[in-house]
Amino acid sequence: MTDLEIMQRAKMYMDQLAQGIDPISGQELSEDSALNNVRLARCFFYVSGILNQVIANGGYVGAANKAEFAITPEQLALVEISPYPLRITEFTNNLLKEVKNPTMKKPSAVKFTNWLTAKGFLMKEQGPDGKNRRVPTADGIRLGLSTQMRNSPDGEYLAVYYDSNAQRFLLDNLSAILQET
């Protein structure tokens, strides 16, 4: 049995104890049982919640000290290129999904946009709202970058999308992008 399976079983036991059920026999705990105490039931619910968080984190305790993003060549080969244009955050989510390591940070979208700006595929411009934004250059458009107006609770904004050619280009240059400071 793996550690994760043991945690899942322990959570199941805590849930049953919190509900006044003996997890071994499946029978209701007697009223005079120490395990059927309200204060203990609250404790069992609390421990079950903590176990649920650890299970959701792949069995790892804590997330404050996540490792920097890294991907092996084998994992990189498995990253799917979307036939539909993606936002950079969707693209970085796809990278992290393939690594399958909940103790690793998501790759920074800013690293990608900074690198693309330095290489001349994106440029900064001031939008009508006075805020700086990045937009594709002519080279960026040829690469497969496009823009689309989007709405958010804070108002309308211009979003950059990456088609399959642009996604492939990012994967091909991932090592250089990740070295960006």
The string of pLDDT tens digits covering residues 26-77 is: 888 888 888 778 888 788 888 888 888 888 777 766 655 678 888 999 999 9
Contact 78, 98 (CB under 8 A): yes
> Does any domain span residue 140?
yes
Under DSSP, is residue 96 helix (H, G, I), strand (E, B) or coil? helix
The pLDDT assigned to 60 comes to 67
Contact 50, 14 (CB under 8 A): no
Residue corresponding to tokens 């176990």: 51
The pLDDT assigned to 140 comes to 97
User: Which positions ≥6 away from 3 have C-beta within 8 Å?
Assistant: 59
The pLDDT assigned to 64 comes to 55
> Does any domain span residue 65?
no
The string of pLDDT tens digits covering residues 80-117 is: 999 999 999 999 999 988 888 877 888 889 999 999 99
Residues 85 and 151 in one domain: yes
Residue 60 CA from chain centroid, whole number: 15
Residues 108 and 169 in one domain: yes
User: In this prediction, what percent of the chain has a pLDDT beyond 90?
Assistant: 39
Under DSSP, is residue 162 helix (H, G, I), strand (E, B) or coil? strand
> Does any domain span residue 64?
no
> For 118-122, what is the mean pLDDT?
97
User: Which positions ≥6 away from 127 have C-beta within 8 Å?
Assistant: 133, 157, 158
Q: Which domain holds residue 80?
A: 73-178
Residues 45 and 88 in one domain: no
Residues 153 and 93 in one domain: yes
Residues 143 and 103 in one domain: yes
Residues 89 and 163 in one domain: yes
